[in-house]
Amino acid sequence: MWDCTFFTRKEILRLHGRYHELAPHLVPMDYTNDPDVKIPLALIVNMPELKENPFRNRIVESFSEDGQGNLSFNDFVDMFSVLSEMAPRELKAIFAFKIYDFNVDNYICKEDLEKTLNKLTKEELTPEEVNLVCEKAIEEADLDGDNKLSFADFENMISRAPDFLSTFHIRI
Amino acid sequence: MVSQLLKKISRVLYNIVVLFIPWEMRIKKIESHFGSGVASYFIFLRWLFGINIVLTIMTGAFIVLPELLAGPPFGTTRSKTIPKDHLASAQDLDTIWSLGGYLQYSVLFYGYYGNVRKIGSAGYRLPLAYFMVGMAVFAYSFITLLRKMAKNSRMSLSGASDENYTFCWRVFCAWDYLIGNPEAAESKGAAIVNSIREAIVEEQEKKKDTSLAVLISLRILANILVLLSLTGSIYIIYFVVDRSQKLEQEKPELTLWEKNEVSVVVSLITMIAPSAFELVAQLEMYHPRTSLRFQLARVLVLYLGNLYSLIIALLDKVNSMSSAISVGPGNLSDSTSYLATISQSTEDNLSTIIPDITERQNSTLTRTLLELNNSMTTVKSTTSSRQPMRMQSLLNQTVLYEYNTRSQQDPCWETYVGQEMLKLSIIDMIFTVASILLIDFIRGLVVRYLSDCCCWDLESNFPEYGEFKIAENVLHLIYNQGMIWMGAFFSPCLPAFNVLKLVGLMYLRSWAVLTCNVPHQQVFRASRSNNFYLTMLLFMLFLCMLPTIFAIVRYRPSQYCGPFSGQEKIYDIISETIANDFPLWFSKVMSYVTSPVVVLPALLLLFMLIYYLQSIARSLKVTNSQLRLQLQTERTDDKKKVFQLAAAHLQAPEGGDKKPEQESDITSMESSARSTSPPRRNGSITNFESPVRHGNSIRTITQSASRPDIPRAAGATQSPTVPVRQKHKAEPVASSSFRMYSSPSVPQRQVRRVEYIPIRHSGYLGSTSGSCRSKSYHNMAYKPCTRYAENSDPLFRKTLRPMHTEPAVITAQSYVGHRAHSTRYVIINEHEARKKLMRSNTRIPRHYRLADEPTEIVELYPRNVKCYIPRPPHRSHQPHLSEEEEEEDPKSSTRRGSFRQSKRPRPLSDLHQTAGFYIGDTINSQLSMEQGLYSDEEEGDQEEDWVNDPQTNIRGPESAHRYGEPYVKPKTKHKVEPSLTESDSASLASSSDQQNSSTDQYIQVIHNKKKYLKSNAKLTKTKSKSSVKLNVSGTNDLVCSNV
């Protein structure tokens, strides 16, 4: 398993400990039978690493196989693996795109941007400001002129951001 | 693993280091609440703090400590003892407050340091160290300042190209996923909101624009105001200083106000003027960042004015002092009175020494002499020397003091300057604290707690909460630092004092900002590199260094105090040291090095080097901007490519014809038109039901257009004319098709048309013989309707098109709309075609306009019918009327467009008649046939004729149409070309005003008639006319019935 992630065996074990902690009654410590166990979103979101993150729900949802936010242990490890320091920029960009794509249509459209902004700023901006920022952001990054950001647009933009790697990163 | 470990260790170390960065958390907190602008002030403050720490260490370690440890203790030498007559008052608060008494004879000031060349057992060369450190303070400041500036500019250079994704990054990269602490999350959220707001403000600033003239005049006015206030403040300071000196001279007792007048006035000016400047800056309507810079520069000038007026006054005193010393060097007594008298001229003097002096003034000369310790002989000598002194100095007001001082003491002007600077610094600190407490804190309290019991809202109206004024505060820091630099040489402890002051300021300010200030209303980002602050600081450093250097070089050091006492010049210590303490060869080398033989070439070399580096920097700047430009163009190219790709995708399904046509220019269009036209000629008559067989949809259109003619031809006896028309039509159609090609989406539209046509055909064909015409009409109306309704803009675009030759633009448009509005584009194309037609036929536009809405089409017919109905007597008139009625701005615009197009290639213009004009085409053809001989001049006529004709043609089914096909074709072509140009002019004239146009048309119509008549006469085709008329009426009826 650990060649699929950026974690060492030890770290995976530690992660499993955390995973187990989240729902001790659900998760067995012994994975030899490969049981199909999933932890619901509500529990994961309460992890201290995610608790303050405005996109916590989206993070968990985009890493869950079923899209509902229920994470198996594999999903769980994947999540922290992508968010770890070791993950390459491309991988991070893919998942960042998924996280910001609220309506899962493979495009970051204006509504997605508005949601992102509102979560980010806790709705402190006026609608006009939000509107302006959304338009500007799309205008800046939209290369193919379809008024929404495809992944190519997003990656192009994010790959030039100086602090993306350092901020899109959760230490666990 | 090792690298990982290293990473971890470095991260931990980094975290620890952050803990040790002073006030880092505090600044971060402020930054998250107030934005980077306010934080930049605190960061600047911290940086200054760092510099002062180093300066303090330098002076402390190399001057103060050695003197304290190894120098002779207090009271052992004359320069270290308080004179007896001042001993009594040495501990008074007044004396201490004015830095007299014990403070004056302490390590704080220059005068305390001894001039023994080597002190202590180690033989520390204190005088040399004093001089070296004094210079090193400046050198270090310069170096750190320049290095910081270089670093900042490097950062700003590397960061400048990243501005393209401001908003995206602020949205997508803003959140730090590492944050797990609620407080940090909150402050991060606040910081994000702030940064986004900053970006928004910047964006809005970009959009703002007002009339240039008003702006310029406003700015000129503002600058005049600022200049006035600057000169005013300088004059006031000068006036006050002058007055205080006079008062000191004339009045025995000075009131408290008179004593402190200067300092109060100066501090009032420094407090009020910046706010006035801020008000003025609002007039100018600069970008906030620019206005901030202006504000800073102005305040800096103000502060400099104040500082320099003070310095000049000081140096003035020093000048008179040293000259007095040179005259009367015999004074042995130490007293502070001399210093006190000097200090009277400075604003900040609060000392009580002045009264002493004034008392002395009152007392008689002899009395003062008696009081003094000096022997009578020295007194006499000084008095005798007084007279020449007076003559020399011409400073009447100081004469008395000079007398006193000379008789009393050995003046130590260095100590005096140091005292003044320290005093200035202290008073500045007091004022700062007071202003923070009064202006910010008390005001905040009042606003907060009295707003309930006040009739207006204190918080949002008048007093409000104080804003944190970055400009002023930064300037204040710079001003403060300038005082330190100015006084550091004369008061070695000044940097240490400044460190304390800065620490206090940091805490007080940050507390005030967080408790009683509100964020600046216009948040904006301080430029990432604070180079502007640093530039001002550098400026300040240079200006503050000048007086010190000047004093060092120009004035003779005090005779009986300080490390350089007994020397002719302060810098003599260097040469003396070299001569005495270094081996002989070194002094020889030094004499060589300092001789002009070496210095001049070295200077030249330096200049050359500077020039060389400067030119390199300039060229680098140029290449840098070029690279940036290249990057930008490449990025836009990328965008274009993407657009093109997308366009290609869209076009791919639509058929191969479009692509080549898109690429092809007018010429290609022409060729295609020709190519298309011949087949039509051949088969148009018979072909009309086989539109499909022309591979291109465009052709099908042409065919459809030709169809009506064909039926007519078939029905009419004059079959020969039909082919001619068809040819004409075909050509115009082809041209139209070309235009249509240019836009990718055209094909789809055309396809639709084709579909429409068949349907109508089917419907109409059954009804009547005139059905053909009706169909043609329908086609016309229908298409126009769709076009017009959908595209008012498109018209303009089309008109612009010729200029647009770039495929990218068109493709882009198509791309945007392609899916939803594919039809539109097609329509646009048709429009162009029509416009082209239009130039020839004004009618068509009318139809379009009428047809604006599909439902209206039906109505249009009736109108036309009406027009036509009256016509029969005068065909030409009727069409005009209709034109007049219906003409609108859009028409004019379309005309223009058509004209432009027509201007290019004539053949094309010939071809202008589009499918939409079937009717018009037929008319044209008729006209051409009829007018075949008229040629050039008739274009306008032709147009109108056509306008008239279409209807007539339609109605008069084929009666007049087919005369002489063979010659008609060439003729018509010729005609069309000239006509286009003429029509252009006419249309242009008409385009301006509807009415005008209508009148023009009238005229033209009339001409047309004549011509028409002529043509008729010539051609002897009167029949055709009549038939046409008849036809028209008939057709109208038919149409009506159809409708």
- Is B571 strand, coil or helix? coil
Which residue type occupies B874? Answer: H
Q: What's residue B326's pLDDT? A: 52
What pLDDT is attached to residue B164? 66
Answer yes or no: is pLDDT of B412 > 90. no
Strand partners, B124: B119
> Is B812–A145 a contact, with Cβ atoms under 8 angstroms apart?
yes
Nearest to A161 among B169, B196, B816 (CB): B169
Q: What is the pLDDT of residues B643-660, one digit of tens each?
A: 788 778 777 655 444 444
Predicted local confidence at residue B262, as pLDDT: 67
Average per-residue pLDDT for chain A: 81
Residue A34 falls within a domain, yes or no? yes
Predicted confidence (pLDDT) per residue in B437-468, tens digit: 887 888 888 777 776 666 666 655 566 677 77
Rounded mean pLDDT of B464-487? 81
User: Is A98 inside a domain boundary?
Assistant: yes
**Residues A43, A95: one domain?**
no
Q: Is the alpha carbon torsion for B692, B696, B698, B703 positive or negative?
A: negative
CATH code at position A129: 1.10.238.10
Q: Which pLDDT tens digit goes with each residue over B239-273?
A: 777 777 777 667 666 666 665 666 667 777 777 77
Q: Which residue in chain B has the smallest CA separation from A128?
A: B200
> In chain B, which residues have their Cβ closer than 8 Å to the Cβ of A132?
200, 203
Q: Which residue has the higher pLDDT, B208 or B569?
A: B569
Q: Both A160 and A103 in a single domain? A: yes
Average pLDDT estimate for A100-123? 85
Tell me the ipTM for this assembly.
0.88
Residue that is last in its domain, among A66, A83, A100:
A83
Q: Do B176 and A170 touch (CB under 8 A)?
A: no
Q: Which of A83, A85, A157 sits opposite B165 (nearest CB)?
A: A157
Residue in chain B closest to A108 (alpha carbons) equals B172
Q: Which has the minimum average pLDDT: A13-17, A68-72, B225-229, B780-784?
A: B780-784
Assess if residue A1 is contained within a domain: no
- What value does the mean pLDDT take over residues B923-928? 42
Q: Find residues 45-84 of chain A whose CB sits inside 8 Å of chain B.
A: 48-49, 51-55, 83
* Final residue belonging to a domain, choices A33, A57, A83: A83
pLDDT, tens digit, for every residue of B349-378? Answer: 333 344 444 444 444 343 443 444 443 333
Q: Do the domain assignments include residue A104?
A: yes
Query: Which tens digit of pLDDT belongs to each residue from B966-977?
Result: 444 444 344 344
Q: What is the pLDDT confidence band of residue B835, given thresholds at 50, 70 and 90?
A: very low
> Average pLDDT for residues B72-94, to the nearest whole number?
73
Residue B805 confidence (pLDDT) above 70: no
DSSP label of A108:
B
Q: What distance in Å separates the CA atoms of residue B733 and residue B790, rounded to the nearest whole number?
A: 21
User: For residue B815, what pLDDT is reported?
Assistant: 40
Indicate if A68 and A94 belong to the same structural domain. Answer: no
pLDDT for B712-722, tens place per residue?
Answer: 444 443 434 33
Does residue B524 have a pLDDT over 60? no
Query: Residue B56 above 90 pLDDT?
Result: yes
- Please check whether residues A70 and A103 belong to one and the same domain: no
Q: Which helix (H) or strand (E) holds B466?
A: strand B466-467
Report how far residue B728's alpha carbon sits from residue B712's, in angstroms, rounded to the nearest whole number: 15
Q: What is the mean pLDDT of residues A102-120?
A: 86
Q: What is the pLDDT of residue B1034?
A: 41
Q: Is B238 on the interface with A (CB under 8 A)?
A: no
Min Cα separation B629/chain A (Å): 17
Whether A2 is in a domain gets the answer no
B870 by Cβ neighbours in 10 Å (0-12 / 13-18 / 19+) ranks as exposed
Of the pLDDT bands very low, low, confident and very high (cuts 50, 70, 90), residue B709 is very low
Give contacts of A158 with chain B, Cβ < 8 Å: 172-173
pLDDT confidence of residue B57: 93
Helix/strand/coil percent split, chain A, to 5: 55, 5, 45
Q: What is the pLDDT of residue B610?
A: 96
Average pLDDT over chain B reads: 61
- In this predicted model, what pLDDT tens digit does every residue of B177-192 receive, in sequence order? 877 777 667 777 877 8
Q: For A63-92, what is each residue's pLDDT tens digit?
A: 888 777 788 888 888 888 888 877 888 888
Q: Where does the pLDDT of residue B603 fall: very low under 50, low under 70, confident under 90, or very high at 90 and above?
A: very high
* The pLDDT of residue B50: 92
- Select from A120, A126, A147, A155 the residue whose CB has the most chain B CBs within 10 Å, as the one to mutate to test that interface: A120
A-to-B residue pairs, Cβ atoms closer than 8 angstroms: 113
| pTM for the whole structure | 0.53
**pLDDT on residue B515:** 80
Q: In angstroms, how far is the first alpha carbon of chain B from the final one?
A: 88
Inside any domain, residue A3? no
Residue B1037 in this model has a pLDDT that exceeds 90? no
Chain A residues with CB under 8 Å of B203 CB are 132, 136
The closest of B77, B46, B235 to B148, measured between CA atoms, is B46
Judge if A56 and A100 occupy the same domain.
no
Same domain, A96 and A119: yes
- Distance between B206 CA and the closest CA of chain A, angstroms: 13
User: Which residues of chain A have a CB within 8 Å of the CB of B163?
Assistant: none
B1021 to chain A, closest Cα gap in Å? 58
Percent of chain B with pLDDT over 70: 46
Tell me the two tokens of residue B841.
Answer: 């036929």
Whether residue B618 is predicted with pLDDT greater than 90 in this model: the reply is yes
Q: Which two tokens stand for residue B713?
A: 């031809």
Partners of A157 on chain B (C-beta within 8 Å) are 165, 168-169, 172
Q: Measured between CA atoms, how close is A163 to chain B, in angstroms?
A: 7
A39: helix, coil or strand? strand
| Residue B905 confidence (pLDDT) | 40
- Please give the full DSSP string across B89-143, using - where no structure is assigned: TTTSHHHHHTT-HHHHTSTTSGGGS---SSBTTTTB-HHHHHHHHHHHHHHHHHH
For residues B855 and B845, what is the distance between their CA atoms, to the nearest angstrom?
17
Nearest residue of chain B to residue A101 (CA atoms) = B172
Cβ-based neighbours of B754, under 8 Å, separated by 6 or more: B691, B692, B697, B700, B701, B704
Q: Which of A83, A111, A134 is the last residue of a domain?
A: A83
* Cross-chain CB nearest to B182 (options A52, A55, A100): A52
> In this predicted model, which residue has the larger pLDDT, B515 or B719?
B515
Q: What is the pLDDT of residue B499?
A: 93
Which of B174, B175, B193 is facing A124, going by the closest CB pair? B193
| Domain count of the fold of chain A | 2
pLDDT above 70: residue B478:
yes
**pLDDT score of B735:** 40
pLDDT at B1015 over 80: no
Which residue did the predictor score with more confidence, B330 or A160?
Answer: A160
Confidence of residue B35 (pLDDT cuts 50, 70, 90): low
- Contact in structure between B833 and B912 (CB atoms under 8 Å): yes
- pLDDT tens digit string along B534-575? 888 898 889 888 888 888 888 888 777 778 877 788 888 888
Residue B989 — φ and ψ, nearest 5°?
A: -60, -45
pLDDT value for B166? 74
pLDDT digits (tens, 9 = 90+) for B578-601: 888 788 888 888 888 888 889 999
B486 in helix, strand or coil? helix
- Cβ separation of A129 and B639 shorter than 8 Å? no
**How far away is chain A from the Cα of B499, in angstroms, using its nearest Cα?**
35
**Cβ–Cβ under 8 Å, residues B47 and B530:** no
pLDDT for B458? 60
Which residue of chain A has the CA closest to B636?
A143
Could you tell me if B335 and B372 are in contact, meaning their C-beta atoms sit under 8 angstroms apart?
Answer: no
| CA B339 – CA B321 distance, rounded (Å) | 10
Instruction: Nearest chain A residue to B644 by CA: give it.
Output: A144
Give just the sign of the alpha carbon dihedral B196, B200, B205, B206.
Answer: positive
Statement to judge: residues A108 and A156 lie in one domain = yes
Hey, is the C-beta of A144 within 8 angstroms of any chain B C-beta? yes
B358-364 long-range Cβ contacts below 8 angstroms, 24+ apart: B358/B248, B358/B251, B358/B252, B358/B253, B358/B254, B359/B252, B360/B404, B361/B252, B361/B400, B361/B404, B362/B252
Say how far apart CA B1021 and CA B928 lie, in whole Å. Answer: 12
- Looking at the fold, whether A79 and A95 belong to one and the same domain comes out as no
What pLDDT, on the 0 to 100 scale, is given for residue B16?
Answer: 82
Range with the poorest average pLDDT among A62-66, B19-23, B334-338: B334-338
- Both A49 and A76 in one domain: the answer is yes
A4 lies in some domain: no
Is the pLDDT at B226 greater than 70? The verdict is yes
Put simply, the answer to whether A164 touches B197 (Cβ < 8 Å) is no
A113 and chain B: CB distance < 8 Å anywhere? yes
Residue A24 lies in a domain: yes
Residues A68 and A137 in one domain: no
> Domain range for residue A107?
89-167
What pLDDT, on a 0 to 100 scale, did the predictor assign at position B652? 66
Comparison of pLDDT for B688 and B602, the residue scoring more: B602
Per-residue pLDDT averaged across B880-896, rounded?
A: 41
Instruction: Looking at the structure, tell me whether residues A100 and A62 fall in a common domain.
Output: no
Higher pLDDT among residues B233 and B60, named by residue: B60
Per-residue pLDDT, averaged over A4-33, amounts to 79
Q: Are residues A57 and A94 located together in one domain of the fold?
A: no
Q: Hey, of A52, A89, A111, which one would you mutate to test binding to chain B, going by the most B CBs within 10 A of its CB?
A: A52
